[in-house]
Amino acid sequence: MDMSPLWISLKTSVSATFLAFILGVTAAKLMSGYQGRLKNVLDGVFILPLVLPPTVVGFLLLVLFGRHGPLGQLLSSLGTTVIFSWSATVIASTVVAFPLMYRTARGAFEQVDPNMLDAARTMGVPERSIFTRITIPLAWPGIAAGTILAFARALGEFGATLMLAGNIPGKTQTIPLTIFFLVESGQRTKAAVWVLIIIAISLAAISGLHYWTKCQIPAGGRPEK
C-alpha cells in the first residue's frame, strides 16, 4: 500500500496548524485590544472561512492564487506558482483552520481578568512580558483547545484542498482525498484502512495535547486539603 497520503496529510496538517496558531494567536491578540470602527468587519472576515462551504473557500483561493489573481500574478512574477502543489494543501488547510484558532484564542484572552494585567502594569512589568508571562499562561487551556480544533480541521480538510491543490497522488493527495477516490473506485477495504488511520491520528493528537496542557498548568491549580 502506498503510504504517501499519510506523510502528506501529517506534513500538511502540522504545517497548517503551526501557521494557523501563529496567525490566529496574533490576530486574537490584536483584535482583543482593538476598539476601532472596523472591529466587527474584521471579526467577520476572520470567521468567514468557518461558515462558508469549503468549496466556496477553495473557489475564492483559486481566484486569489490563480494565474490572473492578485497573489497568483505576484507569485508568477517571482517565478513560482502554488496551485496544484503541496503548498496549496497547506494554504487551504491553514485558511479553514484559522477561524477556529482565532476564535478560541480570542475567547481565552478575553477571559483573563483585566485587573491582573493592570496589576502587572503597576508593578512595572513591560507589555510584552505581560503577554508572554501572564496572558498566554492564563489563556493556555483555551489556546490548547483551539490548537486541537485547528489540527483536526486541517487534517480533515477536503473541499478547499481538492479545488486548490487537486488530487495528485504522491504530491497533494491527502488521506481524506485518498478515502474519497478509493470509495469512488469501489476499493472499500483500502478506504476503511485509511479511515482507521485517520481516527488513530486524531485520537493521538487530542490525547497528546491534553497531556501537554496538563503539564503546562502547575499542580497548584487545585486547592490543597
Partner 1 sequence: MALTVNIERDLPGFQLRVSFTCRDSTLGLLGRSGSGKSMTLRCIAGLDKPTRGRIVLGERVLYDSEAGINLPPQERKVGFLFQNYALFPHLTAAGNIAMGLRGIEKKKQEKIIKEMISRVKLNGLEGRYPRQLSGGQQQRVALARALAPRPQVLLLDEPFSALDNHLRSEMEQELKDLLNNFYGSSVFVTHNLEEAYRLCPNLLILEDGKVIASGSREDIFNRPPNLATARITGCQNLSRIRVRQDNTVEALDWGCFLRITADNMVERANYVGIYSRYIRPAGKDDHVNIVHCRVINVIESPHQVTLSVKPTGGETNNTHLLKLSISNEEWSRIASQSPDGLKICLPPERVFLTC
Which segment (98-106, 125-133, 144-152, 171-179) binds partner 1 by CB under 8 A? Answer: 125-133
Among 25, 88, 120, 149, binds partner 1 (CB under 8 A): 120
Take residue 191 and report the three cell numbers written for it: 478506504
Decide: 42 and 61 in contact? Cβ < 8 Å.
Answer: no
Decide: 134 and 120 in contact? Cβ < 8 Å.
Answer: yes
Neighbours of 163 (CB within 10 A): 20
DSSP 131: I
Tell me, by CB under 8 A, how many residues bind partner 1. Answer: 25
Among 66, 107, 137, 166, binds partner 1 (CB under 8 A): 137
Closest to partner 1 by CB, 80 vs 132, is 132
Decide: 2 and 168 in contact? Cβ < 8 Å.
Answer: no
Q: Does 214 bind partner 1 (CB under 8 A)?
A: no
In the three-class reduction of DSSP (H, G, I as helix; E, B as strand; rest coil), residue 34 is classed as coil
Least Å from the CB of residue 148 to partner 1: 21
Q: How far apart are CA 161 and CA 147, in angstroms?
A: 20
Least Å from the CB of residue 126 to partner 1: 6
Least Å from the CB of residue 133 to partner 1: 7
> Using CB under 8 A, which residues numbered 37 to 66 contact partner 1?
none
Among 126, 169, 170, 208, binds partner 1 (CB under 8 A): 126
Decide: 154 and 17 in contact? Cβ < 8 Å.
Answer: yes
Among 44, 113, 199, 212, binds partner 1 (CB under 8 A): 113
Take residue 80 and report the three cell numbers written for it: 513560482
| Residue type, position 129, single letter | S
Applying CB under 8 A, the residues found at the interface with partner 1 are: 113, 115-116, 118-127, 129, 133-134, 137-138, 217-218, 220-224
